[in-house]
Amino acid sequence: MVQFSTETMRPADRFEAYRSLYAGGTDAIRLGSQFSARLEARPLGEIVAFERWLDHVGHDRTMRRIRQDGFEHFVMQLNLSGRLVAHTGDGAAEVRPGEIILLDTRRPYRTECDRSHILTFSIARYVVERAFFGPEELHGRILSPPGSALLADFMISLNRHARTLSDDALTSMMTVFTELLAIALRPGEAGGSSTAAAGAKLEAARRVIEAELPRRDLGPDLIAMRIGVSRSRLYELFKPLGGVASYVQLRRAHRFRALLSQPRDLRSIAELAFACGFASESHASRSFRATFAVPPGQFRRRQLEVPHEAGRIAANGPGGFDRWVSSLTMLQPAPCP
């Protein structure tokens, strides 16, 4: 567990220390003279949990950050008390106590906190996608009671008992968390057998894609055969996600970015491209640039040249959350049996 508090610091040092702590993923913004911050962070497998007490501070995730860090997870923020305002592409929305907002780290957003007590879960993308099947927009979605009440209670309980959970217990807890998230996202369809069956098939297809991504022959025929559906049914499942081919290409681009972000991976760009299933380095470069608006070589140099203050703090302390959050990008669902 990582702990941070401005209470023990000189007033002149407080905000800079907090800004540096978050430098790996967002720009911290001081919103008033009464700024203060305290947090506890802990990794829970596919989740990194943050309990935060924040006053007069905001967090801005810009396109520059998105292109720089390679994060692709979701963030769920449960407002326990105080004022929390989120700005997304649809404008500003106040998240009232008891409500949860879902934010996609691949999209820009800004949050503002005033005397806030917030429980934040950073969640591997596939966990959210496993819980949700449909074309609706999730970025900026606010989940309100009573539909989200069980999910909120479970988040609080999971965070409270995190230290005592074994790995096996944590795996079971993640199953419960996913089911409660599915109920909160689609309360009217929680018992719908057709929706559940479609979601299960889509999850199975995603697992096949993640497991077989390095194969250049990965395509609809192979995926459909593995999960036991027709090509037309497979196309129907992936229609809300832009189609099968588009989804595979996107996953390759994101796997490529995750590998490029690892400073200890000394393989060439071409080798990394082939490891992600691209037919050539030029194909990988075109896909990467189309997705992230930066060439892969430039992106890789940026990871090596731009120091992450949060990483340095982590190296000097008992742990650190920047590397935990980074690891969510590399997590993959277990392959289909």
The pLDDT tens digits along the chain (337 residues) read: 788 999 989 999 999 999 988 887 889 999 988 999 999 998 888 899 999 999 999 999 998 888 777 788 999 999 999 999 999 987 899 999 999 999 999 899 999 999 999 999 999 887 887 777 655 678 999 999 988 999 999 999 999 988 888 888 888 888 899 889 988 987 654 444 556 677 778 888 988 998 899 999 999 999 999 999 999 999 988 887 788 999 899 889 988 988 887 777 889 999 999 999 999 999 999 999 888 878 999 888 876 664 443 333 343 333 346 667 766 765 655 544 3
- Whether 217 is covered by a domain: the verdict is yes
- Whether 198 is covered by a domain: the verdict is yes
Verify that 122 and 173 share a domain, yes or no.
yes
Verify that 240 and 183 share a domain, yes or no.
no
Residue with tokens 């129907």: 236
Question: What pLDDT is stored for residue 167 in this prediction?
Answer: 81
User: Beta strand pairing status for 100-104 and 141-143?
Assistant: antiparallel
Question: What pLDDT is stored for residue 273 in this prediction?
Answer: 94
Verify that 122 and 237 share a domain, yes or no.
no
- Whether 151 is covered by a domain: the verdict is yes
- Whether 304 is covered by a domain: the verdict is no
Domain of residue 229, CATH code: 1.10.10.60
Task: Give 266's Cβ-side CA count (13 Å radius).
Answer: 0
Verify that 35 and 175 share a domain, yes or no.
yes
Alpha-carbon distance of 216 to 225, in angstroms, equals 16
Verify that 186 and 224 share a domain, yes or no.
no
Verify that 44 and 185 share a domain, yes or no.
yes
Question: What pLDDT is stored for residue 302 in this prediction?
Answer: 74
CA distances from 252 to 19, 57, 227, 288, 321 (A): 32, 36, 20, 9, 26
Verify that 47 and 95 share a domain, yes or no.
yes
Verify that 154 and 235 share a domain, yes or no.
no
Verify that 24 and 173 share a domain, yes or no.
yes
Verify that 106 and 239 share a domain, yes or no.
no
Domain of residue 57, CATH code: 2.60.120.10
Q: What's the domain range around 150?
A: 2-191+310-315+324-330
In contact, 10 and 308? CB cutoff 8 Å: no
- Whether 303 is covered by a domain: the verdict is no
Question: What pLDDT is stored for residue 331 in this prediction?
Answer: 63
- Whether 164 is covered by a domain: the verdict is yes
- Whether 13 is covered by a domain: the verdict is yes
Give the number of other CB atoms < 10 A from CB of residue 17.
16
Verify that 38 and 141 share a domain, yes or no.
yes
Question: What pLDDT is stored for residue 138 in this prediction?
Answer: 87
- Whether 181 is covered by a domain: the verdict is yes
- pTM for the whole structure: 0.71
Q: What is the pLDDT of residues 60-76, one digit of tens each?
A: 999 888 877 778 899 99
Alpha-carbon distance of 109 to 43, in angstroms, equals 23
Verify that 124 and 108 share a domain, yes or no.
yes
Of the candidates 53, 58, 38, 76, the one whose C-alpha atom is nearest the C-alpha of residue 113 is 58
The count of domains in the chain is 2
In contact, 103 and 72? CB cutoff 8 Å: no
